[in-house]
Amino acid sequence: MARAIISVEDKKKRVAKSAAKKKNASARKSAAKKHHLRIDILTAVPELLNSPLNFSIVERAKKKGLVRIFIHNIRDYAKGKYKKVDDYSYGGEAGMVMMIEPIYTLITKLKKQRKYDEIIYLTPDGEIFNQQIANQLSLKKNIILLCGHYKGIDHRIREHLITMEISIGDYVLSGGEIAAAAISDTIIRLLPGALSDETSALSDSFQDNLLSAPIYTRPADFKGWKVPEILLSGNHDKIAQWNDEQSLARTKKLRPDLLK
């Protein structure tokens, strides 16, 4: 494999990346000594969240006591025999709108029990979720994730109760449950102790706006497809340099927008 040419500017970025990783690790370890994370997810369709939040890394983190996840059914706070949570839109727009009363009642109840760092509404027109936002949220103590459904929620909720709005991409889902699961997973894997090797999360793609270097495992030679010799050398300094070079080269090729 050809050796990437690294400029002085790129070397500076590499040093900055290393320093940022150490800073992030230190912040996470410091935060871990103070608290664990609580996530309250508000949804009209709680069944959609059963699988993604009860297996793998998320489940292990729950068992270790690193995170507590509470799923609240908004319908439980609706009035009437049929527990209706949606109604027609004023102005005649197509699509049903989630009503203000059940959501207000639920959020008000939760806020009386504890202080929340963020009350987040998951919506296509929110701020695009990225690794930097995940890093910030992983340091919080209590957060609420409100899942929209149908056409969306009564805008007065956004004006008076929501502190942050997040989107996971420029497309529309049937509801915010998939987004809530994705965001929860991203945050939880950053908690110290969630991964077997805590440094693994620091080398993920998008940490410090760079893609990760290529990764390999055994066998070293499969049908003539060989692992780069440098990774088999045992020279950790040279391997680290190779990883930095490859990370920068892949970012320039695949996601140059991250370097702007």
- Assign 3-class secondary structure to 141-169: CEEEEEECECCEECHHHHHHCCCEEEECC
Rounded CA separation 73/76 (Å): 6
Q: Determine, yes or no, domain membership for 95.
A: yes
pLDDT digits (tens, 9 = 90+) for 92-117: 889 999 999 999 999 999 999 999 99
Q: Determine, yes or no, domain membership for 250.
A: no
Rounded CA separation 224/229 (Å): 13
Q: Determine, yes or no, domain membership for 20.
A: no
Which residue range(s) make up the domain with 91? 35-188
Write out the chain's pLDDT in tens, 260 residues. Answer: 444 455 656 655 555 555 555 555 555 555 445 459 999 999 999 999 988 999 999 999 999 999 999 999 999 999 988 999 999 999 988 999 999 999 999 999 999 999 999 999 999 999 999 999 999 999 999 999 999 998 999 999 999 999 999 999 999 999 999 999 999 999 999 999 999 766 566 556 566 789 989 999 999 999 999 999 999 999 999 999 999 999 999 999 999 999 98
Q: Determine, yes or no, domain membership for 143.
A: yes
Q: Determine, yes or no, domain membership for 194.
A: no
Total number of domains in the chain:
1
Q: Look at the pTM and tell me if it is higher than 0.75.
A: yes
Q: Determine, yes or no, domain membership for 41.
A: yes
Query: With contact defined as beta carbons under 8 Å apart, do 132 and 190 qualify?
Result: no
Q: Determine, yes or no, domain membership for 68.
A: yes
Q: Determine, yes or no, domain membership for 22.
A: no
86 bridge partner residues: 98
What's the CATH number where 182 sits?
3.40.1280.10
- Pairing of β 118-128 and β 142-147: parallel
Question: Nearest Cα to 32, choosing from 194, 226, 256, 247?
Answer: 194
